[in-house]
C-alpha cells in the first residue's frame, strides 16, 4: 500500500496529515500528488468524498513554500469553488494542512461584508480560496490582483458551470498570467466542463476515480410526511429500531444539528453532531467515534456530511430536506455496505414541498411514501401526492400508483 511518505511530501505536511488522522493516501491522492509536485497540469474526474481536496491542497502548499511572497493585494495560488460552504470547507482543510508552514490563505465569498475580505487581502496572501462572483467583484474594485498567480485550481468545475458562473470564470481567467500550473476537478465532464478544461490545461495528467458513494439505484428510498412538531418524536421512534446499525441524520442548520443530537441522546448507543461550527479537532473526534462504532448516530449538516466517507452506514435520515436537490443524492449516497445499498428516509413537512418537488424532478422518481408510521400527516400526503380537485382516496395501492403517475406527469 502506498504511503504518504512515498509521495514526496514535505515533512511538515506529513506531520499535519498524520495529525488529521489520515493513515494512507486515497487513490486520487496517490495519483495526483506526485505529478502536481512536479508542476504538471491536472484533469481530475472525482467527486467529494474521494479525498480530492487534500489531493490538490497538499502539493499546492508545498509548491507555495518555494515561491516568492506576493505583492500587496496579490496572491500566488487561487482556488475557485462554487459555493461559500465549499470555500469554507477548503479553508478548514487548509488550516489543518498548513499548520507550522509559513503559507497564508484567505477566503473570498459572497453573502457577507466586503471589508474583512479586503483587509485580509491587502498585505498580499499566498493562497486565496474564492467563489467566482465575489472574486470578480473584488477584482473590478481593484481590491485584489491576479497577475502574480502561479497556481490555479478549479474545484467542482461542473457545478460552477451549472450555477451559471462561466462568464465570471472566463473573466477571472483573463486576468491570470498565461504561465501557470492549472488543476481542474469535476465530477463529470458534461455540460461544457470538457471544453473549459481543454481550453485552459496544457498537457494535463488525467486522473479519474470512481465515486465512493453508493449509486442511487441501490438505496431504498422512503418518504414520511410529518408535521415539524412531530419530527423529533418520529426520528426517536425510528432510531429505536435495532436494525439501525449506524445512522447519519441530516439537518439544515448547525444549531439544528446540535439541538437534535442532544435531544436524541435517549435513543442510546451514542449520538453526536458534526458541523462547520465545531473545531476541526472536535469534528475529527466525532467522525472517528462514528467510524469506530463508539457512537451509532451522527447528526450532520450538508457541509460536514458531504465528504463523509464512513463504511457501514445502514440508514440516512433527511430530518430536513436539502434545498439543493443535488445534496439529496450526495446525502443518500453515504449509505450502503460492500456494494449493497442502505435505507434513506426523508421527512417532509408542508414547508418542504418545493424541496421535495426539486428532488423528485432531479431523480425522476416519486419516492415511496410510508404511511405506516405513528406521525403520518395524511393531510400533507393528500396535498402533495393527490391531484387537486380530486377527493382524497386513502390506502389502496393501485389507486395510489395511478394517482402518483398522473400527478407526476402534470
When asked if residue 333 is in the footprint of ligand AMP (CB under 6 A), the reply is no
Smallest separation (angstroms) from ligand AMP to the CB of 36: 14
Secondary structure in 3-state letters for the chain: CCCCHHHCCCHHHHHHHHHCCCCCCCHHHHHHHHHHHCCCCEEEECCCCCCHHHHHHHHHHHHHCCCCCCCCCEEEEEEECCCHHHHHHHHHHHHHHCCCCCCCEEEECCCCCCHHHHHHHCCCEEEEEECHHHHHHHHHCCCCECCCCCEEEECCHHHHHHCCCHHHHHHHHHCCCCCCEEEEEECCCCCCHHHHHHHHCCCCEEEECCCCCCCHHHCEEEEEECCHHHHHHHHHHHHHCCCCCCEEEECCCHHHHHHHHHHCHHHCCCEEEECCCCCHHHHHHHHHHHHHCCCCEEEECHHHHHCCCCCCECEEEECCCCCCHHHHHHHHCCCEECCECCEEEEEECHHHHHHHHHHHHHHCCCCEECCCCCCCCHHHHHHHHCCCCCCCCCCCHHHHHHHHHHHHHC
When asked if residue 25 is in the footprint of ligand AMP (CB under 6 A), the reply is yes
Give Cα 99 distance to the centre of its chain: 23
Q: Could you say which of 44, 51, 204, 336 contacts ligand AMP (CB under 6 A)?
A: 51
Whose Cβ is closer to ligand AMP: residue 18's or residue 233's? 18
Q: Could you say which of 10, 19, 22, 69 contacts ligand AMP (CB under 6 A)?
A: 22
When asked if residue 26 is in the footprint of ligand AMP (CB under 6 A), the reply is yes
When asked if residue 181 is in the footprint of ligand AMP (CB under 6 A), the reply is no
When asked if residue 52 is in the footprint of ligand AMP (CB under 6 A), the reply is yes
When asked if residue 53 is in the footprint of ligand AMP (CB under 6 A), the reply is yes
Whose Cβ is closer to ligand AMP: residue 137's or residue 309's? 309
Smallest separation (angstroms) from ligand AMP to the CB of 24: 6
When asked if residue 48 is in the footprint of ligand AMP (CB under 6 A), the reply is yes
- The footprint of ligand AMP on residues 120-159 (CB under 6 A) is none
Smallest separation (angstroms) from ligand AMP to the CB of 106: 20
Q: With contacts defined by CB under 6 A, name the span among 21-29, 223-231, 335-343, 362-370 that binds ligand AMP.
A: 21-29
Determine how many CB atoms are found less than 10 A away from the CB of residue 227: 15
Whose Cβ is closer to ligand AMP: residue 30's or residue 377's? 30
Cell 465532464, residue located: 189
Q: Could you say which of 49, 82, 336, 358 contacts ligand AMP (CB under 6 A)?
A: 49
Q: With contacts defined by CB under 6 A, name the span among 50-58, 155-163, 232-240, 367-375 that binds ligand AMP.
A: 50-58
Q: Across the strands, what pairs with 223?
A: 346, 369
Whose Cβ is closer to ligand AMP: residue 109's or residue 290's? 290
When asked if residue 307 is in the footprint of ligand AMP (CB under 6 A), the reply is yes
The β-bridge relationship of strands 75-80 and 151-154 is parallel
When asked if residue 59 is in the footprint of ligand AMP (CB under 6 A), the reply is no
Q: With contacts defined by CB under 6 A, name the span among 24-32, 165-173, 197-205, 256-264 that binds ligand AMP.
A: 24-32
Smallest separation (angstroms) from ligand AMP to the CB of 224: 29
Close Cβ partners of 146 (under 8 Å, ≥ 6 residues apart) = 74, 75, 78, 139, 172, 175, 176
Cβ atoms 73, 119 nearer than 8 A: no
Q: Contacts with ligand AMP: how many residues (CB under 6 A)?
A: 13
Q: Could you say which of 7, 32, 42, 54 contacts ligand AMP (CB under 6 A)?
A: 54
Q: With contacts defined by CB under 6 A, name the span among 47-55, 290-298, 345-353, 365-373 that binds ligand AMP.
A: 47-55
- The footprint of ligand AMP on residues 217-256 (CB under 6 A) is none
Whose Cβ is closer to ligand AMP: residue 70's or residue 276's? 276
When asked if residue 98 is in the footprint of ligand AMP (CB under 6 A), the reply is no
Positions in the binding site for ligand AMP (CB under 6 A): 22, 25-26, 29, 48-54, 307, 309
Amino acid at each position: 500500500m502506498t504511503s504518504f511518505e512515498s509521495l514526496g511530501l514535505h515533512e511538515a505536511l506529513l506531520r499535519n496529515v498524520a495529525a488529521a488522522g489520515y493513515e494512507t493516501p486515497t487513490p486520487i491522492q496517490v495519483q495526483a500528488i506526485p505529478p502536481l509536485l512536479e508542476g504538471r497540469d491536472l484533469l481530475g474526474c472525482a467527486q467529494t468524498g474521494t479525498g480530492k481536496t487534500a489531493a490538490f491542497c497538499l502539493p499546492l502548499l508545498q509548491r507555495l513554500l518555494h515561491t516568492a511572497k506576493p505583492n500587496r493585494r496579490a496572491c500566488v495560488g487561487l482556488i475557485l469553488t462554487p459555493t461559500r460552504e465549499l470555500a469554507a470547507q477548503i479553508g478548514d482543510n487548509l488550516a489543518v494542512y498548513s499548520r507550522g508552514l509559513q503559507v497564508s490563505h484567505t477566503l473570498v465569498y459572497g453573502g457577507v461584508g466586503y471589508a474583512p475580505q479586503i483587509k485580509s487581502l491587502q498585505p498580499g496572501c499566498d493562497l486565496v480560496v474564492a467563489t467566482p462572483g465575489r472574486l470578480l467583484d473584488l477584482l473590478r474594485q481593484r481590491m485584489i490582483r491576479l497577475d502574480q498567480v502561479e497556481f490555479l485550481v478549479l474545484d467542482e468545475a461542473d457545478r460552477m458551470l451549472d450555477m451559471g458562473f462561466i462568464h465570471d470564470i472566463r473573466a477571472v481567467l483573463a486576468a491570470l498570467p498565461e504561465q501557470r500550473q492549472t488543476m481542474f476537478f469535476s465530477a463529470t465532464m458534461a455540460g461544457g466542463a470538457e471544453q473549459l478544461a481543454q481550453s485552459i490545461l496544457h498537457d494535463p495528467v488525467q486522473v479519474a476515480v470512481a465515486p465512493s458513494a453508493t449509486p442511487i439505484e441501490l438505496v431504498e428510498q422512503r418518504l414520511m410526511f410529518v408535521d415539524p412538531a412531530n419530527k423529533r418524536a418520529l426520528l426517536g421512534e425510528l432510531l429505536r429500531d435495532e436494525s439501525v446499525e449506524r445512522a447519519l441524520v441530516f439537518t439544515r442548520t448547525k444549531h439544528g444539528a446540535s439541538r437534535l443530537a442532544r435531544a436524541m441522546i435517549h435513543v442510546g448507543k451514542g449520538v453526536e453532531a458534526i458541523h462547520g461550527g465545531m473545531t476541526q479537532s472536535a469534528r475529527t473526534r466525532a467522525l472517528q467515534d462514528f467510524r469506530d462504532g463508539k457512537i451509532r448516530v451522527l447528526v450532520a449538516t450538508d457541509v460536514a456530511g458531504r465528504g463523509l466517507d464512513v463504511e457501514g452506514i445502514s440508514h440516512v435520515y433527511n430530518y430536513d430536506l436539502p434545498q439543493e436537490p443535488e445534496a439529496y443524492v450526495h446525502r443518500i449516497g453515504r449509505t450502503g455496505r460492500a456494494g449493497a445499498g442502505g435505507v434513506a428516509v426523508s421527512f417532509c413537512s408542508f414547508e418542504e414541498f418545493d424541496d421535495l418537488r426539486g428532488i423528485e424532478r432531479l431523480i425522476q422518481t416519486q419516492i415511496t411514501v410510508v404511511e405506516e408510521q405513528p406521525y403520518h400527516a395524511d393531510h400533507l400526503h393528500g396535498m402533495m401526492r393527490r391531484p387537486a380537485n380530486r377527493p382524497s382516496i386513502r390506502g389502496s395501492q393501485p389507486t395510489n400508483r395511478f394517482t402518483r403517475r398522473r400527478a407526476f406527469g402534470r
